[in-house]
Structure 1
Amino acid sequence: MRALILMIQFMTRYPVPIAVDFTADHFVRGMKWMPLVGLLVAVPAAAGMMLADGLLGRDMAALIAVILLIGITGGLHLDGLADTADGLFSYRSRERMLEIMRDSTLGVNGVIAVVLAILVKYALLRAIAPAGATPAVLVAPVLGRMALVWHAATARYAREERGIGDFVNQTGRTQAALATLSSLVLVGGILVLWGIPFSTVPWLTLVFHLPPIALAVGFAAYARKRLGGITGDTIGASIELSELLSFFIALLVWKYWLA
C-alpha cells in the first residue's frame, strides 16, 4: 500500500498526506499499481467530460477532459515529452542530447511537441463516437501508465547516476507483467461497465493493449540507439504517446467495430 501511495504522490497532484520514503524499492514495487494510478487520473476527466457534454456540448467537453488530464498530473508527462523532443530532434551527440533534455529551458521542438500532443488529443477525443468518448478517457490513462512500465522494463537508464536510474534498472519483465495484468482487469472492467458485449471484451481488451506495449518497447529501443538508454523524460513521453495511440484506437474501434 505504501508503494501505491508513493506512486500517487509522484505521478499526480492528489494531496495524500502520508509520508512514504522515496526509495527505489518502493518505486519498483509500485510499478504494478501504475494502471490504477492512471485510472485515478482518468476518473475526474471522464466525470468532467460527461457533465460538460450535456451542458456545454462535445467541443467544450473534450477540451475540459484534456485540461483535467493535464491538471491532475501537473503537466509532468508533457514536460517529459517536451524535453525528449528538444533532445532527440537536436540531432547532436548522445552527451549533448542528454544535456539538452536536462536543461529546464524549453526549446522550439519541445513547444511544438506539447502543442501537437494537446491538439491531437483534443481532436481525437472530439472525433470519437459519443458512446465511446467517456470510456476512451477512462482507458487511455490506464494504458499509458501500463506502457511506461514496459518502457522502463526493456532498457537501462541512459545516465550513470543514482536516483531515478536505480528504479529504472531494477524494473523488469515481472513488473511489466504485473502492470499488464492490472491493466487488463481495469480496462476489461471499464468496457463491461459501458455495456460492451461480454464475448467482445477479451478481444477488444487485447486490441487496446498490444499497440501501446509495442510503442513503449519500440520507443525504448530507439532511445537505446540514440541516447544509450531511457530517461525520466522518455518515460513521460512514453505515457503521452501511448495515450495518444489509445485515443486513436478508440476512434477506430467505435467507428468501425462497435458502430
Structure 2
Amino acid sequence: MVLTALRGAVGFLTRIPVGHDGDAWEAFQRAPVAFPAVGYLVGGLAALPLLGVAVLPASTVAAVAVVWLYTLTGITHLDGVADLGDAAVVHGDPGQRVEVLKDTVLGVGGTVALGVVLLAVALGFLGLAATPIRIAVAVVVASEVGAKLSMAGVACLGTARHEGLGSAFTTASGPRSLLPAVVVALPAGLLAWPSPVAAVALVGAVAGGALVSRWANGLVGGVNGDVFGAANELARLTGLHVGVVAWTLS
C-alpha cells in the first residue's frame, strides 16, 4: 500500500518514468503522507545543479537549476499559477473566476504570475549558489518537502468546489491524515543542523503554501487542481528565499 502510494506520488509530482496505473493513483489519493515523502526525492534531485558552483558562474548555475527543476517536475503545477493569476484579475464572483480557470487562453494576469514565479525561483537558486553547498542542498530539500506538505494540507483540510482533481484528494482524506505527513516532513528541518536554516526554510514553505491556499480558496470558492499547483509553486519559492535570508542573517 505505502509503496504503491509512493509510486503514484512520484508519477503525479514528477516526470520520472515510474509508470501510471489506477491502483497507484488511488493509493496516493488516500495517503497524503506520500506528498512530503516524495518531497525528499524531488528536493535532492533538484539540488544537483548547485554542485556546479565550483566550476560555473552563479548565474549559470541558477539558470540550469530552474531548467532542471521543471524538467524534473514538469509544468503542470505552473499551470495552476497561470490560471489563478488570470482569475485574480477578474472582477466578479467566484463562479465567474472559475470560468476563467477553465479558459485555455493565457491572459495578462497569468503571464505576469508565471514570470514572477519563475524569476523568484531563479533568484532563490542564485542566492543559494553563494552559500556553502551543504546549506544550499538542505534549503532546497526542506523547501521542497515543505511545498509538498502544503499540498498535503490542501488535500486534508480543503473542500473541493466541484468534481475533479481537487475532490479526488479532499474526499479521500481528512484532518487526521495530515499528522503522518507532518511527522514525515519534520526531519527535513534538521538537514542543516546545527544551523536552523533548513528548519526556517521548511516553516517558511509551509507558511507560504498555507497563505496561498487560503487566498486561492477564497478567490474561487473552494479547492481544485489549480490551488494544489499554486500552493506547491509559491511554497517552494517562499522556502528558498526564507532559507537564503536566514543564512544571510545568521
How far did residue 98 of structure 1 move?
Answer: 0.8
Compared with structure 1, are the counterparts of its residues 19 and 158 closer, same or farther at alpha carbon in structure 2 (3 Å cutoff)?
closer
- The answer on 1:70 being equivalent to 2:70 is yes
Greater CA deviation, 219-228 or 104-113?
219-228
* AA partner of residue 76 (structure 2): L
Residue identity opposite 2:46 in structure 1:
A
Match status 1:149 vs 2:152: yes
RMSD over aligned CA atoms reads: 2.1
Identify if the C-alpha distance between structure 1 residues 150 and 18 changes in structure 2 by more than 3 Å, giving closer, same or farther.
Answer: closer
Report matched runs for 1:58-97 at 5 Å.
Answer: 58-97=58-97
Distance 1:185 1:104, change over 3 A: same
Cα distance, 1:18 vs structure 2? 6.2
Q: Which amino acid aligns with 2:242?
A: I
Residue 211 (structure 2) aligned to one of 214, 218, 224? 218
Give the structure-1-normalised TM-score. Answer: 0.85
Residue 235 of structure 2, aligned match among 223, 230, 242: 242
Deviation for aligned residue 1:8: 0.7
> 2:215 & 2:145 partners in 1: Cα distance?
23
Residue identity matched to 1:104: T
1:172 to 171, 174, 192: 174
Q: Distance in 2 between matches of 1:162 and 1:251?
A: 37
Which sits farther off after the overlay, 7-16 or 29-38?
29-38
2:222 is aligned with 1:229: yes
Aligned residues: 245
Tell me the CA shift for residue 48 of structure 1. 2.1
Residues 29 and 168 of structure 2 are in contact (CA less than 8 Å); yes or no, is this contact kept in structure 1?
no
One-letter identity of the residue aligned with 1:109: G
Q: CA deviation at 1:239?
A: 0.6
Alpha-carbon distance change, 162 to 112 in structure 1, aligned in 2, over 3 angstroms? closer
3-state SS of paired residue (2:104): coil
Equivalent residues in 2 for 1:95-244, closer than 5 Å: 95-128=95-128, 129-131=130-132, 132-159=135-162, 161-162=163-164, 164-188=166-190, 190-191=191-192, 196-197=193-194, 200-201=195-196, 206-244=199-237
- C-alpha distance in 2 between matches for 1:123 and 1:216: 19
Decide whether aligned partners of structure 1 residues 15 and 105 sit closer, same or farther in structure 2, where only a CA change above 3 A counts: same
Within 2, Cα distance between the matches of 1:220 and 1:148? 9
Indicate if the aligned counterparts of 1:153 and 1:176 stay in contact, CA closer than 8 A.
yes
Separation of aligned partners in 2, 1:4 and 1:147: 17
Structure 1 gap ranges (5+): none
How far apart are residue 123 of structure 1 and its match? 1.3
Whole-angstrom distance in 1 between the partners of 2:106 and 2:31: 30
1:151 Cα deviation (Å)?
2.4
| 2:4 match | 2
Partner of 2:47, secondary structure, is helix
Distance 2:211 2:19 in 1: 37
Between the aligned partners of 1:111 and 1:94, the Cα distance in structure 2 is 21
Q: Given the superposition, is the C-alpha separation of residues 209 and 49 from structure 1 closer, same or farther in structure 2, using an over 3 Å criterion? A: closer
The answer on whether the counterparts of 1:42 and 1:69 sit within 8 Å (CA) in structure 2 is no
Quote the sequence identity (%): 26
Instruction: Give the drift of 1:163.
Output: 5.1
Residue type matched to 1:117 in 2?
V
C-alpha contact 2:66 2:122 (8 A) present in aligned 1: yes
How far the C-alpha of 1:113 sits from its partner, in A, is 0.9
Pairing 1:36–2:37 present: yes
Shift of 1:74: 1.0
Instruction: String of CA shifts for 1:216-258, please: whole Å, max 9, x gaps.
Output: 333333333332211110110001111111011111211112x
Residues 91, 26 of structure 1: alpha-carbon distance in 2 compared, 3 angstrom cutoff: farther
